[in-house]
């Protein structure tokens, strides 16, 4: 450690994951030296780091305050909690803690749209990005979704559309005039936060220094507390006011609208489900704030079919529709999917759920289960405890695998039903991530047809 302290490297990168490596590429590109540190003794990408940066010191093992205090700035990857004792000590001694968001905003030369929310942020980010492309703009799309934001920096870009998680927002103090939105807030990552209030506070950092703010008028937790002078617009699934986006119910059906002007029939959207109408409205509000032409946005809504594993249509077998919402990793996402696909006139859904519960309160699922769901097929690490919490809301089965859960759902399904994978849980007990879990579901569904 003394050798490190003696060097002229005044920046430490904590975390050797995708974000840490993107920070290293960026710092290298501007000629700034740095040191790597990771609390793991054998991080998965260690060989890649040592091959790409053979001259850069790498410190492994528990973070030590003495090491961090030797640097002017410490760039913290989002997976690292800020209550780590070494980080707390560094902050107390005025060491500057940064995330990749601050570096990105300092160097982005085009307008920036920042998107967060408990659910729907990836869909909205991708949708706004495609709206911008349809408008003829060169746009960088990424952040928490896809490409790390520092890798998107390009002086040729005319717009950036960036998805941010609550973890990425924890160190943000000024968004430097970004167009910012919180789509919705429901309890998530309660294994990291002390409660909803702390999670809410992290999300609301996205509004600091924003030039325009978009919020969900039907979710009071997204309502910004801002000084006068910031331009506001809102969206919701109810009737809109004059300068907001919403839904008009006309004789001919349901329309997405701006004020009293119908823009597109909900039946024309390529993405399905009531929650995706809200995503479309949010995307239009963001696009309008960025000056995108309405025609290009409406054309995109007619073509955009959504993202993989986010309420993705898989198959229809014997009149039963199978939907892959493996990205539904928290209760709020699953509630949104149930409300989006459920039929209040009959219990038409069979829900496949379970995994790592992340300390969530699953009793919040009871009401939509009672209303829309005829059977819940649970599997994974916390399946039994979830089943105990949900007892009495509907029929519940606990299984040992995804394949068993799909078989159970198929046996119970009748023509007109929807089998929905929306786990409300993290996937790492049995899968490498939500993508592998979704692929496993799709394989189990299509295996019978094959």
3-state secondary structure the chain: CHHHHHCCCCEEEECCCHHHHHHHHHHHHCCCCCEEEECCCCCCCHHHHHHHCCCCCEEECCCCHHHHCCCCEEEECCCCCCCCHHHHHHHHCCCEEECHHHHHHHHCCCCEEEEECCCCHHHHHHHHHHHHHHCCCCEEEEECCCCCHHHHCCCCCCEEEEECCHHHHCCCCCCCCCEEEECCCCCCCCCCCCCHHHHHHHHHHHHCCCCEEEEECCCHHHCCCCCCCCEEEEECCCCCCCCCEEEEEECCEEEEEECCEEEEEHHHCCCCCHHHHHHHHHHHHHHHHCCCCHHHHHHHHHHCCCCCCCCEEEEEECCEEEEECCCCCCHHHHHHHHHHHCECCECCEEEEECCECCCCCHHHHHHHHHHHEEEEEECCCCHHHHHHHHCCCCEEEECCCHHHHHHHHHHHCCCCCEEEECCCCECCCCCCCHHHHHHHHHHHHHHHHC
φ, ψ for residue 88, nearest 5 deg: -60, -45
- Tally Cβ neighbours within 10 Å of residue 40: 13
- Report whether 59 contacts 1 (CB < 8 A): yes
φ, ψ for residue 405, nearest 5 deg: -65, -40
Residue of 119, 126, 184, 189 marked active site: 189
- Considering just the CA atoms, what is the radius of gyration of the chain in Å? 23
Q: Is 318 a catalytic residue?
A: no
Task: State both tokens at 48.
Answer: 């890649």
Residue of 119, 144, 157, 348 marked active site: 144
Report the alpha-carbon angle 364-214-311, nearest 5: 45
- Report whether 337 contacts 422 (CB < 8 A): yes
Q: Which residues pair with 257 in a beta bridge?
A: 246, 262
Q: Is 189 a catalytic residue?
A: yes
Task: State both tokens at 293.
Answer: 């032409």
Residue of 119, 121, 327, 330 marked active site: 121
Residues with catalytic roles: 121, 144, 189
């Amino acid at each position: 450690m003394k050798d490190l302290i003696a060097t002229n490297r005044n920046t430490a990168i904590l975390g050797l994951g995708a974000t840490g490596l993107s920070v290293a590429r960026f710092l290298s590109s501007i000629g700034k030296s740095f040191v790597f540190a990771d609390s793991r003794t054998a991080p998965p990408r260690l060989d890649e780091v040592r091959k790409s940066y053979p001259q850069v010191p790498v410190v492994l093992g528990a973070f030590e305050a003495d090491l961090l205090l030797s640097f002017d700035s410490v760039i913290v990857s989002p997976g690292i909690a800020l209550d780590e004792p070494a980080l707390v000590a560094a902050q107390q001694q005025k060491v500057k803690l940064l995330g990749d968001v601050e570096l990105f905003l300092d160097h982005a030369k085009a307008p920036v749209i920042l998107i967060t929310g408990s659910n729907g942020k990836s869909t909205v980010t991708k949708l706004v990005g495609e709206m911008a492309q349809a408008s003829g703009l060169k746009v960088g799309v990424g952040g928490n979704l896809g490409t790390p934001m520092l890798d998107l920096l390009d002086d040729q870009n005319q717009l950036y559309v960036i998805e941010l998680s609550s973890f990425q927002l924890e160190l943000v103090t000024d968004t430097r005039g970004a167009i910012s939105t919180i789509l919705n807030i429901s309890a998530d990552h309660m294994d990291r936060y002390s409660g909803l209030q702390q999670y809410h506070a992290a999300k609301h950092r996205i509004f600091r220094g924003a030039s325009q703010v978009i919020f969900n008028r039907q979710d009071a937790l997204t309502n910004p507390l801002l000084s006068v002078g910031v331009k506001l617009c809102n969206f919701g699934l109810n009737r809109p006011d004059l300068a907001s986006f919403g839904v008009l119910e006309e004789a001919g059906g349901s329309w997405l609208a701006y004020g009293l002007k119908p823009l597109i029939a909900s039946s024309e959207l390529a993405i399905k489900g009531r929650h995706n109408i809200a995503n479309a409205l949010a995307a239009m509000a963001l696009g309008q704030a960025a000056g995108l032409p309405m025609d290009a946005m409406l054309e995109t809504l007619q073509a955009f079919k959504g993202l993989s594993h986010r309420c993705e249509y898989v198959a229809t077998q014997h009149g039963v529709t199978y939907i892959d919402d493996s990205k539904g990793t928290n209760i709020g996402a699953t509630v949104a999917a149930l409300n989006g696909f459920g039929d209040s006139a009959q219990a038409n859904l069979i829900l496949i759920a379970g995994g790592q519960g992340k300390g969530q309160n699953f009793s919040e699922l009871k009401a939509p289960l009672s209303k829309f769901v005829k059977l819940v097929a649970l599997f994974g690490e916390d399946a039994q405890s979830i089943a105990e919490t949900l007892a009495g809301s509907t029929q519940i089965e606990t299984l040992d695998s995804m394949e068993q859960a799909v078989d159970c759902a198929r046996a119970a399904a009748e023509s007109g039903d929807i089998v929905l994978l929306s786990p409300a849980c993290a996937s790492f007990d049995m899968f490498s991530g939500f993508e592998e879990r979704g692929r496993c579901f799709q394989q189990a569904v299509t295996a019978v047809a094959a």
